Amino acid sequence: MLHKSKRSLIRITLLMCPFLSALAQIPVNGFYPEKHTLTIAPSYAYKSYDQFYIGSTLSEGNPDGFGEISSSIISFYGEYSITNWLSTTVTLPFISVESEEGGLDPVQNVAQVEGVQDLGLFVKAKILEKNFDNSSKITLGGATGVTFPVGDYEGRGLLSLGNQATTVNGSGIFQYTTPFNIFSEIQLGYSIRSSSDFDIPNAMMYAAKLGYYNNLFYVHTKLEIQDSTSGLDIGTPEFGAAGGTNALPETEVDYTNLSFDFYVPIYKNTIGVSAGYAATLTGRNSNKESGLSFGLVYTAR
């Protein structure tokens, strides 16, 4: 019964919090659904911020005197398991970004922008699984994928939907599950970003997760880190020489985010609802933001 519950509940891990950043990590996890399982999950998220890291210094307000900036995000997430050890994932967000005080973006000269952002295509494979006599288990897997712009949005400016980059990601995933339905997970990855218009830094990606599940619910907390390998600092002479606001996609964007996510099945382990909260703990040339998300999850076998 517990094994069946695990398969039903745990395949939903990152779709509950897609709002953390346009440079979010690979949307995969250390669980592997049964062959021919299909999961479809639309979600809505709202985030806002009125503080910004200029370099590594936290400042009140946002660059160019902007006040609070908010975002509404409607996301589509789909996962299909080709075999018991190989699955594919598709993501696509629609984003609306707005200056709450009506400030005009210095590049786009508008107070609000919206549109489809980047399409993500990912493949995940289980490499190793080891079961122990006490019913604990270790799994090791890997994932790779690409995201690329499908919307005609501006990659510069304070209200941009993204950085107009094509990103190739790869990660290794280690997970340990105890007999008491508690699990821990570590993910290490690297992101290669390219653009015809900007020199966008690549980044190392790290994530650590601790969670619990039973027949009635699933919950986890997650620490997520991005560490760019190069880039400019906002406010420096180099940033000004590169074009100031026009060079925002070329900045060194680092962050540490903490999130809490919750999932509850409501109909025969086929339909469920999710909710999440996330906040930025530290950053560099990035927003100090927080937000809530809600989702509907449908699973078919």
Question: Is the separation of the CB atoms in 67 and 59 below 8 Å?
Answer: no
Domain 2-300 fold is Porin (2.40.160)
User: Residue 208: beta bridge partners?
Assistant: 186, 223
The band of 8, judged by pLDDT with boundaries at 50, 70 and 90, is: very low
- Summarised one tens digit per residue, pLDDT across range 113-136 is 999 999 999 999 999 999 998 889
Q: Which of 162, 173, 69 is nearest to 126 (CA)?
A: 173
The domain segmentation of the chain, as residue ranges, is 2-300
pTM value is 0.88
- Summarised one tens digit per residue, pLDDT across range 207-247 is 999 999 888 899 999 999 999 999 999 989 888 888 877 88
The band of 63, judged by pLDDT with boundaries at 50, 70 and 90, is: low
Q: To the nearest whole number, what is the mean pLDDT of the chain?
A: 88
Tokens of 216: 């009635």
Question: Is the separation of the CB atoms in 225 and 256 below 8 Å?
Answer: yes
